[in-house]
Chains A and B, each alone.
Chain A
Amino acid sequence: MDTVELSKQNDVSAIAADDAGRHAAFEARVAADEFIEPKDWMPEAYRKTLIRQISQHAHSEIVGMLPEGNWLTRAPSLRRKAILLAKIQDECGHGLYLYAAAETLGVSRDEMTEALHAGRAKYSTIFNYPTLTWADIGAIGWLVDGAAILNQVPLQRTSYGPYARAMVRICKEESFHQRQGYESMMQLANGTPAQQRMAQDALDRWWWPSLMMFGPPDDNSPNSAQSMRWRIKRDTNDKLRQKFIDVTVPQAQALGLTIPDPDLKWNPARESYDYGAIDWAEFYAVVRGEGPVAKDRIKARIDAWESQSWVREAAMAHEAKRQNKAA
Protein backbone atom coordinates (compact mmCIF):
# COMPACT_ATOMS: atom_id res chain seq x y z
CA MET A 1 0.00 0.00 0.00
CA ASP A 2 2.70 2.41 1.08
CA THR A 3 4.87 1.65 -1.88
CA VAL A 4 1.96 2.11 -4.22
CA GLU A 5 1.21 5.51 -2.70
CA LEU A 6 4.86 6.43 -2.85
CA SER A 7 5.30 5.52 -6.48
CA LYS A 8 2.12 7.39 -7.29
CA GLN A 9 3.55 10.44 -5.56
CA ASN A 10 6.76 10.12 -7.56
CA ASP A 11 4.74 9.82 -10.72
CA VAL A 12 2.83 12.96 -9.94
CA SER A 13 5.91 15.05 -9.25
CA ALA A 14 7.64 13.59 -12.29
CA ILE A 15 4.67 14.58 -14.43
CA ALA A 16 4.63 18.04 -12.84
CA ALA A 17 8.34 18.53 -13.54
CA ASP A 18 7.91 17.22 -17.08
CA ASP A 19 4.92 19.55 -17.58
CA ALA A 20 6.84 22.56 -16.27
CA GLY A 21 9.62 21.83 -18.75
CA ARG A 22 7.25 21.44 -21.66
CA HIS A 23 5.34 24.51 -20.56
CA ALA A 24 8.49 26.64 -20.55
CA ALA A 25 9.50 25.30 -23.97
CA PHE A 26 6.01 26.07 -25.30
CA GLU A 27 6.05 29.63 -23.95
CA ALA A 28 9.47 30.19 -25.49
CA ARG A 29 8.31 28.95 -28.90
CA VAL A 30 5.23 31.17 -28.85
CA ALA A 31 7.25 34.17 -27.69
CA ALA A 32 9.62 33.56 -30.63
CA ASP A 33 6.60 33.76 -32.99
CA GLU A 34 6.82 30.11 -33.93
CA PHE A 35 3.65 28.36 -35.01
CA ILE A 36 2.11 25.63 -32.85
CA GLU A 37 0.79 22.67 -34.85
CA PRO A 38 -1.83 20.07 -33.82
CA LYS A 39 0.63 17.36 -32.73
CA ASP A 40 2.81 19.74 -30.69
CA TRP A 41 2.46 19.71 -26.94
CA MET A 42 0.34 22.63 -25.70
CA PRO A 43 -1.02 23.70 -22.31
CA GLU A 44 -4.60 22.62 -21.72
CA ALA A 45 -5.66 26.25 -21.20
CA TYR A 46 -4.21 27.20 -24.61
CA ARG A 47 -6.16 24.37 -26.24
CA LYS A 48 -9.37 25.38 -24.45
CA THR A 49 -8.97 29.06 -25.30
CA LEU A 50 -8.45 28.20 -28.96
CA ILE A 51 -11.41 25.85 -29.09
CA ARG A 52 -13.56 28.59 -27.58
CA GLN A 53 -12.31 31.33 -29.89
CA ILE A 54 -12.20 29.33 -33.13
CA SER A 55 -15.58 27.64 -32.61
CA GLN A 56 -17.21 30.96 -31.73
CA HIS A 57 -15.65 32.48 -34.80
CA ALA A 58 -17.06 29.58 -36.85
CA HIS A 59 -20.51 29.96 -35.27
CA SER A 60 -20.43 33.67 -36.16
CA GLU A 61 -19.84 32.86 -39.82
CA ILE A 62 -22.72 30.37 -39.83
CA VAL A 63 -25.19 32.52 -37.89
CA GLY A 64 -24.02 35.47 -40.00
CA MET A 65 -25.71 33.88 -43.01
CA LEU A 66 -29.14 34.40 -41.44
CA PRO A 67 -29.51 38.21 -41.51
CA GLU A 68 -28.32 38.22 -45.14
CA GLY A 69 -30.44 35.25 -46.15
CA ASN A 70 -33.41 37.31 -44.99
CA TRP A 71 -32.97 39.51 -48.10
CA LEU A 72 -31.96 36.88 -50.65
CA THR A 73 -35.37 36.53 -52.26
CA ARG A 74 -35.94 40.29 -52.15
CA ALA A 75 -32.66 41.57 -53.59
CA PRO A 76 -33.53 44.45 -55.94
CA SER A 77 -31.88 42.98 -59.08
CA LEU A 78 -30.52 39.72 -60.44
CA ARG A 79 -27.02 41.17 -60.14
CA ARG A 80 -27.48 41.97 -56.46
CA LYS A 81 -29.05 38.60 -55.85
CA ALA A 82 -26.12 36.71 -57.41
CA ILE A 83 -23.66 38.80 -55.37
CA LEU A 84 -25.55 38.24 -52.12
CA LEU A 85 -25.80 34.51 -52.78
CA ALA A 86 -22.05 34.35 -53.46
CA LYS A 87 -21.35 36.20 -50.22
CA ILE A 88 -23.57 33.89 -48.19
CA GLN A 89 -21.83 30.87 -49.77
CA ASP A 90 -18.51 32.36 -48.68
CA GLU A 91 -19.72 32.82 -45.09
CA CYS A 92 -20.70 29.15 -45.01
CA GLY A 93 -17.28 28.18 -46.39
CA HIS A 94 -15.56 30.36 -43.78
CA GLY A 95 -17.52 28.62 -41.03
CA LEU A 96 -16.40 25.26 -42.38
CA TYR A 97 -12.70 26.24 -42.62
CA LEU A 98 -12.89 27.34 -38.99
CA TYR A 99 -14.75 24.28 -37.71
CA ALA A 100 -12.10 22.14 -39.43
CA ALA A 101 -9.33 24.12 -37.70
CA ALA A 102 -11.05 23.66 -34.32
CA GLU A 103 -11.43 19.92 -34.93
CA THR A 104 -7.62 19.60 -35.06
CA LEU A 105 -7.71 20.45 -31.33
CA GLY A 106 -9.71 17.34 -30.50
CA VAL A 107 -13.24 18.73 -30.38
CA SER A 108 -15.84 17.20 -32.71
CA ARG A 109 -18.09 19.07 -35.14
CA ASP A 110 -21.16 17.71 -33.38
CA GLU A 111 -19.93 18.87 -29.97
CA MET A 112 -19.48 22.40 -31.32
CA THR A 113 -22.90 22.40 -32.98
CA GLU A 114 -24.46 21.15 -29.77
CA ALA A 115 -22.76 23.89 -27.72
CA LEU A 116 -24.14 26.56 -30.06
CA HIS A 117 -27.66 25.18 -29.98
CA ALA A 118 -27.63 24.78 -26.18
CA GLY A 119 -26.48 28.39 -25.77
CA ARG A 120 -23.13 27.39 -24.19
CA ALA A 121 -21.14 28.80 -27.12
CA LYS A 122 -21.46 32.41 -28.20
CA TYR A 123 -21.25 34.06 -31.58
CA SER A 124 -20.72 37.67 -32.59
CA THR A 125 -23.33 39.97 -31.02
CA ILE A 126 -23.70 41.79 -34.35
CA PHE A 127 -25.87 39.02 -35.80
CA ASN A 128 -28.50 39.50 -33.11
CA TYR A 129 -29.65 42.70 -34.80
CA PRO A 130 -32.36 42.52 -37.48
CA THR A 131 -31.91 43.45 -41.16
CA LEU A 132 -34.91 45.75 -41.60
CA THR A 133 -34.27 47.22 -45.07
CA TRP A 134 -32.25 46.40 -48.18
CA ALA A 135 -29.75 49.10 -47.18
CA ASP A 136 -28.82 46.93 -44.18
CA ILE A 137 -27.25 44.43 -46.57
CA GLY A 138 -24.96 47.15 -47.94
CA ALA A 139 -24.20 48.41 -44.43
CA ILE A 140 -23.32 44.90 -43.24
CA GLY A 141 -20.85 44.41 -46.09
CA TRP A 142 -19.27 47.80 -45.58
CA LEU A 143 -19.23 47.99 -41.75
CA VAL A 144 -19.57 44.47 -40.37
CA ASP A 145 -17.25 42.86 -42.91
CA GLY A 146 -14.97 45.90 -42.69
CA ALA A 147 -14.70 45.40 -38.92
CA ALA A 148 -14.25 41.65 -39.39
CA ILE A 149 -11.36 42.24 -41.81
CA LEU A 150 -9.55 44.46 -39.28
CA ASN A 151 -10.04 41.74 -36.65
CA GLN A 152 -8.97 38.95 -38.97
CA VAL A 153 -5.93 40.36 -40.75
CA PRO A 154 -3.72 40.09 -37.64
CA LEU A 155 -5.10 36.59 -37.00
CA GLN A 156 -3.30 35.38 -40.12
CA ARG A 157 -0.25 35.46 -37.82
CA THR A 158 -1.98 33.86 -34.83
CA SER A 159 0.17 31.25 -33.09
CA TYR A 160 -1.92 28.18 -33.90
CA GLY A 161 -1.07 26.99 -37.42
CA PRO A 162 -4.44 25.60 -38.58
CA TYR A 163 -6.26 28.75 -37.36
CA ALA A 164 -3.72 31.02 -39.05
CA ARG A 165 -4.05 29.12 -42.34
CA ALA A 166 -7.85 29.26 -42.20
CA MET A 167 -7.58 33.02 -41.68
CA VAL A 168 -5.34 33.43 -44.72
CA ARG A 169 -8.01 31.83 -46.91
CA ILE A 170 -10.78 33.84 -45.29
CA CYS A 171 -9.03 37.20 -45.58
CA LYS A 172 -8.37 36.56 -49.27
CA GLU A 173 -12.10 36.11 -49.82
CA GLU A 174 -13.33 38.81 -47.46
CA SER A 175 -12.33 41.85 -49.49
CA PHE A 176 -15.11 41.23 -52.02
CA HIS A 177 -17.63 41.28 -49.17
CA GLN A 178 -16.67 44.74 -48.03
CA ARG A 179 -16.38 46.21 -51.51
CA GLN A 180 -19.77 44.95 -52.68
CA GLY A 181 -21.28 46.46 -49.53
CA TYR A 182 -19.66 49.82 -50.08
CA GLU A 183 -20.68 49.80 -53.74
CA SER A 184 -24.26 49.06 -52.75
CA MET A 185 -24.21 51.90 -50.20
CA MET A 186 -22.74 54.22 -52.84
CA GLN A 187 -25.63 53.45 -55.15
CA LEU A 188 -28.20 54.24 -52.44
CA ALA A 189 -26.34 57.32 -51.23
CA ASN A 190 -26.32 58.70 -54.79
CA GLY A 191 -29.94 57.66 -55.38
CA THR A 192 -33.34 59.20 -54.69
CA PRO A 193 -33.98 61.06 -51.40
CA ALA A 194 -35.79 57.94 -50.13
CA GLN A 195 -32.78 55.75 -50.95
CA GLN A 196 -30.46 58.25 -49.27
CA ARG A 197 -32.61 58.18 -46.13
CA MET A 198 -32.51 54.39 -46.20
CA ALA A 199 -28.70 54.42 -46.40
CA GLN A 200 -28.42 56.90 -43.50
CA ASP A 201 -30.89 54.90 -41.41
CA ALA A 202 -28.84 51.72 -41.96
CA LEU A 203 -25.64 53.50 -40.91
CA ASP A 204 -27.45 54.89 -37.84
CA ARG A 205 -28.49 51.44 -36.73
CA TRP A 206 -25.28 49.48 -37.61
CA TRP A 207 -22.59 51.94 -36.50
CA TRP A 208 -22.59 51.28 -32.76
CA PRO A 209 -23.10 47.50 -32.98
CA SER A 210 -20.16 47.45 -35.43
CA LEU A 211 -17.93 49.21 -32.87
CA MET A 212 -18.99 46.64 -30.28
CA MET A 213 -17.77 43.84 -32.57
CA PHE A 214 -14.22 44.49 -31.35
CA GLY A 215 -15.25 43.34 -27.88
CA PRO A 216 -15.20 45.00 -24.47
CA PRO A 217 -12.71 47.81 -23.73
CA ASP A 218 -9.18 46.66 -22.88
CA ASP A 219 -9.51 47.38 -19.16
CA ASN A 220 -12.54 45.08 -19.04
CA SER A 221 -11.41 42.26 -21.30
CA PRO A 222 -10.43 39.42 -18.97
CA ASN A 223 -8.94 37.03 -21.54
CA SER A 224 -7.03 39.58 -23.57
CA ALA A 225 -3.70 39.64 -21.71
CA GLN A 226 -3.27 35.87 -21.76
CA SER A 227 -4.35 35.64 -25.41
CA MET A 228 -1.90 38.38 -26.37
CA ARG A 229 0.91 36.59 -24.51
CA TRP A 230 0.10 33.37 -26.34
CA ARG A 231 -0.04 35.30 -29.62
CA ILE A 232 -3.61 34.06 -30.17
CA LYS A 233 -4.60 37.72 -30.37
CA ARG A 234 -2.15 40.15 -31.88
CA ASP A 235 -3.86 43.51 -31.16
CA THR A 236 -6.04 44.82 -28.34
CA ASN A 237 -9.77 45.41 -28.78
CA ASP A 238 -9.48 49.18 -28.33
CA LYS A 239 -6.59 49.50 -30.76
CA LEU A 240 -8.53 47.67 -33.48
CA ARG A 241 -11.69 49.65 -32.73
CA GLN A 242 -9.81 52.95 -33.09
CA LYS A 243 -8.29 51.78 -36.37
CA PHE A 244 -11.75 50.87 -37.66
CA ILE A 245 -13.13 54.30 -36.77
CA ASP A 246 -10.18 56.09 -38.35
CA VAL A 247 -10.53 54.30 -41.69
CA THR A 248 -14.35 54.25 -41.77
CA VAL A 249 -15.18 57.89 -41.01
CA PRO A 250 -13.68 59.18 -44.30
CA GLN A 251 -15.53 56.40 -46.15
CA ALA A 252 -18.81 57.64 -44.67
CA GLN A 253 -17.92 61.20 -45.64
CA ALA A 254 -17.30 60.07 -49.23
CA LEU A 255 -20.83 58.66 -49.22
CA GLY A 256 -22.22 61.94 -47.88
CA LEU A 257 -23.53 60.09 -44.82
CA THR A 258 -23.27 61.16 -41.18
CA ILE A 259 -21.81 58.92 -38.46
CA PRO A 260 -24.40 58.90 -35.62
CA ASP A 261 -21.98 60.11 -32.96
CA PRO A 262 -22.12 63.82 -31.93
CA ASP A 263 -18.83 63.42 -30.04
CA LEU A 264 -16.92 62.16 -33.07
CA LYS A 265 -14.07 64.60 -33.70
CA TRP A 266 -10.64 64.49 -35.32
CA ASN A 267 -7.95 64.83 -32.70
CA PRO A 268 -4.84 66.22 -34.42
CA ALA A 269 -2.63 65.48 -31.40
CA ARG A 270 -3.50 61.76 -31.49
CA GLU A 271 -3.95 61.75 -35.27
CA SER A 272 -7.13 59.77 -34.63
CA TYR A 273 -10.81 60.35 -34.13
CA ASP A 274 -12.15 60.84 -30.60
CA TYR A 275 -15.52 59.13 -30.25
CA GLY A 276 -18.46 59.03 -27.90
CA ALA A 277 -19.17 56.52 -25.13
CA ILE A 278 -20.25 53.05 -26.25
CA ASP A 279 -23.34 51.61 -24.55
CA TRP A 280 -21.70 48.57 -22.98
CA ALA A 281 -24.86 47.71 -21.08
CA GLU A 282 -26.45 47.02 -24.46
CA PHE A 283 -23.44 44.94 -25.53
CA TYR A 284 -23.61 42.71 -22.43
CA ALA A 285 -27.37 42.36 -22.80
CA VAL A 286 -26.87 41.14 -26.37
CA VAL A 287 -24.06 38.79 -25.23
CA ARG A 288 -26.51 37.37 -22.69
CA GLY A 289 -28.87 36.60 -25.54
CA GLU A 290 -31.18 39.59 -25.19
CA GLY A 291 -30.52 40.92 -28.70
CA PRO A 292 -33.63 41.78 -30.72
CA VAL A 293 -33.50 38.57 -32.77
CA ALA A 294 -31.22 36.29 -30.71
CA LYS A 295 -33.93 33.73 -30.11
CA ASP A 296 -34.87 33.65 -33.80
CA ARG A 297 -31.26 33.07 -34.79
CA ILE A 298 -30.73 30.03 -32.58
CA LYS A 299 -34.17 28.69 -33.40
CA ALA A 300 -33.35 28.94 -37.11
CA ARG A 301 -30.11 26.99 -36.57
CA ILE A 302 -31.79 24.29 -34.47
CA ASP A 303 -34.65 23.96 -36.95
CA ALA A 304 -32.21 23.59 -39.85
CA TRP A 305 -30.16 21.02 -37.96
CA GLU A 306 -33.15 18.95 -36.90
CA SER A 307 -35.32 19.15 -39.99
CA GLN A 308 -32.38 18.14 -42.18
CA SER A 309 -31.05 15.35 -39.99
CA TRP A 310 -32.69 12.83 -42.33
CA VAL A 311 -30.28 13.86 -45.10
CA ARG A 312 -27.25 12.98 -42.96
CA GLU A 313 -28.92 9.77 -41.78
CA ALA A 314 -29.89 8.72 -45.31
CA ALA A 315 -26.35 9.34 -46.60
CA MET A 316 -24.86 7.21 -43.83
CA ALA A 317 -27.46 4.47 -44.30
CA HIS A 318 -26.76 4.40 -48.03
CA GLU A 319 -23.03 4.01 -47.43
CA ALA A 320 -23.56 1.28 -44.81
CA LYS A 321 -25.73 -0.62 -47.29
CA ARG A 322 -23.14 -0.25 -50.05
CA GLN A 323 -20.39 -1.56 -47.75
CA ASN A 324 -22.59 -4.47 -46.73
CA LYS A 325 -23.09 -5.39 -50.36
CA ALA A 326 -19.37 -5.17 -51.10
CA ALA A 327 -18.55 -7.42 -48.12
Chain B
Amino acid sequence: MKEGLPLWEVFVRAKGGLSHRHVGSVHAADPKMAVDAARDVYTRRMEGVSLWVVPSAAITASDPGDAACLFEPAQDKVYRHPTFYVVPDNVKHI
Protein backbone atom coordinates (compact mmCIF):
# COMPACT_ATOMS: atom_id res chain seq x y z
CA MET B 1 0.00 0.00 0.00
CA LYS B 2 1.19 3.52 -0.74
CA GLU B 3 2.22 5.57 2.28
CA GLY B 4 -0.33 8.27 3.13
CA LEU B 5 0.24 11.77 4.44
CA PRO B 6 2.28 11.88 7.67
CA LEU B 7 0.57 12.22 11.03
CA TRP B 8 0.89 15.33 13.24
CA GLU B 9 -0.13 15.77 16.86
CA VAL B 10 -2.10 18.96 17.53
CA PHE B 11 -1.85 21.15 20.63
CA VAL B 12 -4.15 24.13 21.31
CA ARG B 13 -3.65 27.03 23.71
CA ALA B 14 -7.17 27.86 24.88
CA LYS B 15 -6.19 31.37 25.98
CA GLY B 16 -3.13 33.43 26.86
CA GLY B 17 -1.50 32.26 30.07
CA LEU B 18 -2.50 28.60 29.65
CA SER B 19 -0.18 25.96 28.21
CA HIS B 20 -0.90 24.24 24.90
CA ARG B 21 -2.92 21.06 25.43
CA HIS B 22 -3.00 18.01 23.25
CA VAL B 23 -6.33 17.77 21.44
CA GLY B 24 -5.78 15.16 18.71
CA SER B 25 -4.02 14.72 15.39
CA VAL B 26 -4.23 15.50 11.66
CA HIS B 27 -2.65 14.16 8.47
CA ALA B 28 -0.70 16.67 6.37
CA ALA B 29 2.19 16.83 3.92
CA ASP B 30 4.10 19.64 5.64
CA PRO B 31 4.06 21.80 8.79
CA LYS B 32 2.09 24.65 7.20
CA MET B 33 -0.56 22.29 5.89
CA ALA B 34 -0.71 20.66 9.33
CA VAL B 35 -1.36 24.03 11.02
CA ASP B 36 -4.05 24.85 8.46
CA ALA B 37 -5.70 21.47 8.93
CA ALA B 38 -5.48 21.74 12.72
CA ARG B 39 -7.08 25.18 12.55
CA ASP B 40 -9.99 23.80 10.51
CA VAL B 41 -10.43 20.64 12.54
CA TYR B 42 -9.87 21.81 16.12
CA THR B 43 -10.61 25.55 16.38
CA ARG B 44 -13.86 26.17 14.55
CA ARG B 45 -15.55 27.49 17.71
CA MET B 46 -12.86 29.75 19.18
CA GLU B 47 -11.28 26.88 21.09
CA GLY B 48 -7.90 28.52 20.99
CA VAL B 49 -5.53 31.42 20.37
CA SER B 50 -2.49 29.42 19.31
CA LEU B 51 -1.66 26.05 17.71
CA TRP B 52 1.30 23.72 17.83
CA VAL B 53 1.76 20.79 15.47
CA VAL B 54 4.44 18.16 16.06
CA PRO B 55 5.25 15.20 13.80
CA SER B 56 3.81 12.19 15.64
CA ALA B 57 6.95 10.25 14.78
CA ALA B 58 8.99 12.78 16.80
CA ILE B 59 7.24 11.88 20.05
CA THR B 60 8.88 9.35 22.32
CA ALA B 61 6.39 7.93 24.81
CA SER B 62 7.07 5.97 27.98
CA ASP B 63 6.29 2.27 27.70
CA PRO B 64 2.95 1.40 29.42
CA GLY B 65 4.64 -1.78 30.59
CA ASP B 66 7.08 0.37 32.55
CA ALA B 67 4.36 2.38 34.29
CA ALA B 68 4.72 0.53 37.58
CA CYS B 69 8.47 0.96 37.92
CA LEU B 70 8.30 4.57 36.68
CA PHE B 71 5.46 5.92 38.76
CA GLU B 72 4.83 3.65 41.72
CA PRO B 73 7.92 4.78 43.67
CA ALA B 74 6.16 8.13 44.26
CA GLN B 75 3.33 6.36 46.08
CA ASP B 76 5.10 5.73 49.38
CA LYS B 77 6.62 9.21 49.60
CA VAL B 78 3.77 10.90 51.40
CA TYR B 79 6.27 13.27 52.99
CA ARG B 80 6.39 15.13 49.67
CA HIS B 81 2.94 16.50 50.49
CA PRO B 82 2.28 19.42 52.87
CA THR B 83 -0.51 17.54 54.67
CA PHE B 84 2.04 15.04 55.99
CA TYR B 85 3.22 17.65 58.52
CA VAL B 86 1.27 18.45 61.64
CA VAL B 87 1.17 22.15 62.46
CA PRO B 88 -1.04 23.28 65.36
CA ASP B 89 -4.32 24.96 64.41
CA ASN B 90 -3.36 28.20 66.14
CA VAL B 91 -0.33 28.65 63.84
CA LYS B 92 -1.56 30.49 60.75
CA HIS B 93 -0.30 31.15 57.23
CA ILE B 94 1.81 28.05 56.97
**Contact partners of A247 in chain B: CB under 8 A:** 92-93
Residues facing A in B77-94 (CB within 8 A) are 77, 79-82, 84-88, 90-94
Question: Known: A86-B80, A179-B94, A247-B93. Contact between A37 and B88, CB under 8 A?
Answer: no
* Complex alpha-carbon distance, A164 and B19, angstroms: 10
**Contact partners of B87 in chain A: CB under 8 A:** 179, 182-183, 186
Q: How far is the CB of B54 from chain A (nearest CB, A)?
A: 15
Q: How far is the CB of B62 from chain A (nearest CB, A)?
A: 18
Of the candidates A35, A180, A251, the one whose C-beta lies within 8 Å of that of B79 is A180
Answer whether residue A260 sits at the interface, using C-beta atoms and an 8 A cutoff.
no
Answer whether residue B13 sits at the interface, using C-beta atoms and an 8 A cutoff.
yes
Residues facing B in A141-192 (CB within 8 A) are 142, 146, 161, 164-165, 175-176, 178-180, 182-183, 186
A interface, by DSSP: helix, strand, loop or mixed? Answer: helix
Answer whether residue B65 sits at the interface, using C-beta atoms and an 8 A cutoff.
no
Answer whether residue B16 sits at the interface, using C-beta atoms and an 8 A cutoff.
yes
On whether the beta carbons of A182 and B91 are closer than 8 Å, the reply is yes
Q: Which residue of B lies closest to A255 (CB)?
A: B91
* Complex alpha-carbon distance, A70 and B16, angstroms: 41
Q: Mark A77-94, 1 if CB is under 8 A from B, else 0.
A: 001001100100010000
On whether the beta carbons of A254 and B80 are closer than 8 Å, the reply is no
**Contact partners of B13 in chain A: CB under 8 A:** 37
Q: How far is the CB of A84 from chain B (nearest CB, A)?
A: 10
Answer whether residue B64 sits at the interface, using C-beta atoms and an 8 A cutoff.
no
Q: Mark B16-29, 1 if CB is under 8 A from A, else 0.
A: 11110000000000
Q: Which residue of B lies closest to A162 (CB)?
A: B19
Answer whether residue B43 sits at the interface, using C-beta atoms and an 8 A cutoff.
no
**Contact partners of A180 in chain B: CB under 8 A:** 79, 84-85
Answer whether residue A250 sits at the interface, using C-beta atoms and an 8 A cutoff.
yes
Question: Known: A86-B79, A176-B82. Contact between A251 and B16, CB under 8 A?
Answer: no
Q: Which residues of B contact A (CB under 8 A)?
A: 13, 16-19, 50, 77, 79-82, 84-88, 90-94
What 10 A-B pairs are tightest by C-beta distance, nearest first? A35-B17, A35-B16, A179-B85, A175-B82, A247-B93, A176-B82, A183-B85, A254-B91, A179-B82, A83-B79
Q: Which residues of A contact B (CB under 8 A)?
A: 34-37, 39, 79, 82-83, 86, 90, 142, 146, 161, 164-165, 175-176, 178-180, 182-183, 186, 247, 250-251, 254
**Contacts beyond the supplied A35-B16, A36-B16, A183-B86: 10 A-B pairs with Cβ under 8 Å:** A34-B16, A37-B13, A37-B50, A164-B17, A176-B81, A176-B82, A179-B87, A186-B87, A247-B92, A254-B88
26 CB-based A-B contacts, threshold 8 Å:
A36-B16, A37-B50, A79-B79, A82-B77, A86-B77, A161-B18, A165-B17, A165-B18, A165-B19, A175-B82, A176-B79, A176-B80, A178-B94, A179-B87, A179-B94, A180-B79, A182-B87, A182-B91, A183-B85, A183-B86, A183-B87, A250-B91, A250-B92, A251-B91, A251-B94, A254-B91
